[in-house]
Amino acid sequence: MNIIQPMQTFKKISFSCINGNSLDLISEFEEIFSLSRSKGWEIKTEKTLDLKSLYHPAPKSGGAHLPEFLLWSPEQRKDTSVFFSNYIDGLSGTIKALTGCFERHSYSAHVSAPEDDFPYFSFQFFSEGAVERVVYAMKDDPKWEFFQKGELLPIEDASSYRKREIRNRLTEEIIASYFKKLGWDISLESFWASSGSPMRFSKTEWD
């Protein structure tokens, strides 16, 4: 049973929760793009939040497509932002740049549907431009692999990482429990609903 709303129809999703209202983050992303000389970014206000407009049911593999992401402040936590991109890695480089240039931190996750041929579950903490913590469980045909690096966060359940079945060490339910402890209930519609107008960032040309 999927407890994360988009996972009822998506095969894979990646998202990040960032401290700071989305309106405050807009100018910060613009500055990051300017500093990195990344041109061709178009920013516009959306009437509704439509995750499927980026991809469905899973993001394209590789990096041959132009980056695009949605940014919104969820109804349940208007002082924070959710970042949802069309890249399978969640545009982690952009998240690292944001936390490195500004006083931001981000908790990021990747979740796969049970029917996915190569499921991948991850939880990451970004701060000061670095990945301070990462833990993941993935199926790399034919076996499952588990990896963790960095200091264990207080919200994590270390006992889960000792389970015999690797596939059970990090699951959709465990990831959801971590975010709930952090103040985001990603199982509720109020997380996947914008408190104001969501913003779309689209790269229109390669550098």
Could you give phi then psi for residue 112, rounded to 5 degrees?
-120, 155
Per-residue model confidence (pLDDT) at position 31: 95
Per-residue model confidence (pLDDT) at position 172: 97
Residue 180, burial from CB neighbour count under 10 angstroms (0-12, 13-18, 19+): middle
Q: Give pLDDT tens digits for 75-111.
A: 999 999 999 999 999 999 999 999 999 999 999 999 9
- The share of the chain scoring above pLDDT 90, in percent, equals 89
Say yes or no to pLDDT of 1 above 60: no
Q: How confident is the model at residue 39 (pLDDT cuts 50, 70, 90)?
A: confident
Contact 99, 89 (CB under 8 A): no
Looking at every residue in the chain, the average pLDDT score rounds to 95
CA distances in angstroms from 134 to 50, 61, 74, 122, listed in the order given: 28, 21, 24, 7
Q: Give pLDDT tens digits for 21-34.
A: 999 999 999 999 99
Retrieve residue 97's tokens.
Answer: 């740049």
Alpha carbon distance 76, 53 (integer Å): 23
